[in-house]
Amino acid sequence: MEQLFFAKLNKIIIYYLTYKNMANGPRKDFLSWNDTFMLMAQLIAQRSKEPSTQTGAVVVDERNVVLGMGYNGFPRGIEADELPWGKEQDSWVYTKYPYTVHAERNAIYNSNKSVEGGKVYCTLFPCNECAKTIIQNGIKELIYMDDKYINEEYSVAAKKLFDLAGVRYKKYVPSKKMLISDNDEK
């Protein structure tokens, strides 16, 4: 009987050592949703042909399903060399400003279904025009990475619009250090 007890105990120990210790649970160092979507926004921004500021945006629903992505650039069908990219000229029509579609709007335009109730992740705090589009489409939260133009009138107006419409906004804070490697061996 004692021998049978130790045989069963031995099987339990082997089972424990073999199966239970193989994996002590799921991986703990995975990306948070905020980190994931901000990395996606940074990645899609790299599609922009804008010479001075490349921006990206990702719209997700309340279940963290990606609905759309966008970057700043000219409207579909217009080649990158057909319009000006300059910032300052004698006339506004000779600058990039009247022709560029911002990343936030492109993310909404590119969405595969309604973005109502969703979140938008932006590499740059939106302007007032994008704020109106975000509000009108029912997005409830904005997470932005950079606010270098936060004191400009269009950013002040955007904040006012978000506050009045009840759209929450917050600056993105990475939960861990992340590196994207291009796998180049040097």
Query: What positions carry a catalytic annotation?
Result: 104
Q: How far apart are CA 123 and CA 143, in angstroms?
A: 9
Specify the amino acid at residue 42: Q
Collapsed DSSP state (helix, strand, coil) of residue 3:
helix
Q: How far apart are CA 107 and CA 44, in angstroms?
A: 10
Q: How far apart are CA 33 and CA 27, in angstroms?
A: 15
Whether residue 57 contacts residue 104, with contact meaning beta carbons closer than 8 Å, is answered with: yes
User: Could you tell me the two tokens for 81?
Assistant: 């060399």
Q: How far apart are CA 92 and CA 153, in angstroms?
A: 18
Measured in degrees and rounded to the nearest 5, phi and psi for residue 20 equal -70, -35
